[in-house]
Amino acid sequence: MQKCVISLLTNNSYIFVKQWFETWFDSPYYHLLYANRSETEASDFIKLMAKHLSIEQNAKVIDIACGKGRHTKTLAELGFDATGIDLSPNSINAAKCSEREHLHFEVWDMRQPFRLSYFDVAFNLFSSFGYFDDDAEDAKAIQAMYDCLKPGGLLVLDYINTQFAVLNLKSKEIIPRNDIQFHIQKKVENGFIKKRINFLAEGEEHEFEEQLKVINLTRFEQMIGSAGFELVEMFGDYALAPFSPKSSPRLILIAIKR
């Protein structure tokens, strides 16, 4: 797996090796593999959550690690002033094609605050978290979410329920997309659910890796509490059913900035 490594060359210059999420998430093959993600499911969830939270019209909202902005666009359609940020330039370039008044996108690292005390609601959705090897980087990301919110602002954090995911892990699968077959191997190792992805495309063999940290409810409570949030609600799926550690596919947390 690629790490962020600094290497000294013979001429005393430096090269930087990108971390896995900087390369894989910026690859067109990433979007091809996950092309089956439901726009309808994303839209329905955002509409349901906005209604549940009674978010006011014209509220300023941010979608953190937004990808190509499928959730962000729905937030704008609902009448909110929506901003999406993501580390992937390719994803943000695609999202910018949809920009208009009250819908904006920027390339940004989620570990850095974006506009201090500016937003009413922050969203971090579809397990767009838990990528970093160092727990301190996770804490920085949560703190940045806190810092971008106004006092009384809300955080909606949607993650896989890792207990359920580990119990139901498929070690191998093949996913066809167009003329490409993605061969995927999964395992739990060193506190991460790791996925190795191999495929042949354009006459070349490709290999990427993903990793998602195994973070349980207790650990999330610790992180959001340390940042200054208060946990106020939790749900177990996109229909907002109650959370069950053994059977819920998602862990959706609602926290308030005190």
For 18-23, which contacts have Cβ atoms below 8 Å and span 24 or more sequence positions?
19/131, 20/131, 20/208, 20/209, 20/210, 20/211, 21/87, 21/131, 21/210, 22/87, 22/88, 23/208
Name the region of 196 (left: φ>0; alpha: ψ -120 to 50; beta: rest): beta
DSSP state of 255: E
- For the chain (length 258 residues), average pLDDT per consecutive 10? 38 61 88 81 94 97 96 97 96 96 97 97 96 96 98 98 96 95 97 96 94 96 98 97 97 97
pLDDT given at position 3: 35
Considering Cα of 187, then 68, then 125, then 114, what sign does the dihedral take?
positive
Predicted pLDDT at 170: 93
Q: Which pLDDT score, from 0 to 100, does residue 7 have? A: 36
3-class DSSP assignment, residue 127: coil
Domain boundaries, the chain: 31-163+212-257
β pairing state of 250-257 and 229-235: antiparallel
Q: Which residues, other chains included, contact 204 with Cβ-Cβ below 8 Å and sequence gap of 6+?
A: none
Under a CB-based contact definition with an 8 Å cutoff, are residues 46 and 78 in contact?
yes
Give pTM, 2 decimals. 0.86
pLDDT at 192: 97
Quick one: 31-163+212-257 is in which CATH superfamily? Vaccinia Virus protein VP39 (3.40.50.150)
pLDDT computed for residue 82 by the predictor: 98
User: Which residue in 151, 144, 156 sits closest to 117, CA to CA?
Assistant: 151
pLDDT at residue 10, as a whole number: 46
